Amino acid sequence: MLELLSEHACCGGMQRFYRHDSREIGLPMRFSVFIPGAPADANMPALFYLAGLTCTEETFMVKAGAQKAAAREGMILISPDTSPRGANVAGETEAWDFGVGAGFYVDATEAPWSRHYRMYSYILELRELVLQEFPVDAERIGIFGHSMGGHGALVLALRNPGLFRSVSAFAPIAAPTLCPWGKKAFGGYLGPDQDKWQQYDASMLMAGAHAPFPAGILIDQGLADKFLPDQLYPEVFEAACRTAGQPLELRRHAAYDHGYYFIASFVDEHLRFHGKTLNGG
């Protein structure tokens, strides 16, 4: 059952927050939706946003200021939470980069995480729910995200190019098998066998692909991002795209850091990028 928690008039449309019982997670999950003003019978393109470490379903909608651009593009925005809540797994709140707020968009295979921490499959479940409950065109759905969510967006798009027609990211964790965040998360959720990690590494997935997004992929990266040297590895993804023949626009911005001031500065351009593909322009 889909429960409306709150709604707010915004940019000529409605910003809403929902809760529902998730099949994949086995617990209630929250997500947010911005619906631009449009005729009731009009199916619109939709864009999923996956947030980063410590964030919730509210973070992007409150901080990024994307609703005005979404209204201009006639595009529904959907943002899920970043992990299960209330799983009561021992130790799940002890670290900011693992457990609550840090689901890493993988399906955990290691106990005790495997029961509820299934965020990869949850995003696909949420896509199904959105198609059932909102005026969304199934053929015009894109995905983007930030940091951990940028990693999730790239992986979900590369593994499901038939479900997501466009993809972009802000400062994604582009090669998680190489960085401390990824090694910690993958080791805890997926176990020590690093062969199992590769299915969630965007750079490895891209290296074995053949230009799955011919219209291109957009990534923005701040050069003052303190996580750039040790955690993000955009150059590894860039090299993988060259190998795959995948068009990539990797824009490096002096002075910008890892936070939402950075995202708010370029989110309009990401909405235009997705709109060009999803609206056929």
For range 32-40, the mean pLDDT: 85
The mean pLDDT of 144-152, rounded to a whole number, is 99
Percent of the chain beyond pLDDT 90?
96
Q: How far, in Å, CA of 80 to CA of 269, rounded?
A: 22
pLDDT of residue 1: 85
By the 8 A CB rule, do 76 and 47 touch?
yes
Average pLDDT across the chain, whole number = 97
Contact 73, 275 (CB under 8 A): yes
Say what the pLDDT of residue 152 is.
99
Cα(255)–Cα(249) distance, integer angstroms: 19
pLDDT at residue 42 in the model: 77
The strand ranges marked E within the chain are 2-10, 13-21, 28-35, 44-50, 76-80, 136-146, 166-170, 217-222, 248-253
- Residues labelled catalytic: 147, 225, 258
Are 67 and 7 contacting, i.e. CB atoms less than 8 angstroms apart?
Answer: no
Q: Tokens 């921490």 identify what position?
A: 117
pLDDT at 41 over 90: no
Q: How many CA atoms lie within 13 A of 65 on its CB side?
A: 10
Determine the Cα–Cα distance for residues 213 and 30; give it in Å rounded to an integer: 30
Model's pTM, two decimal places?
A: 0.98
Q: Which residues contact 202 (CB under 8 A, 6 or more apart)?
A: 151, 154, 155, 158, 172, 174, 175, 176, 237, 240
Give pLDDT, residue 280: 84
Work out the burial of residue 157: count CB atoms within 10 Å of its CB; fewer than 13 is exposed, 13-18 middle, 19 or more buried. buried
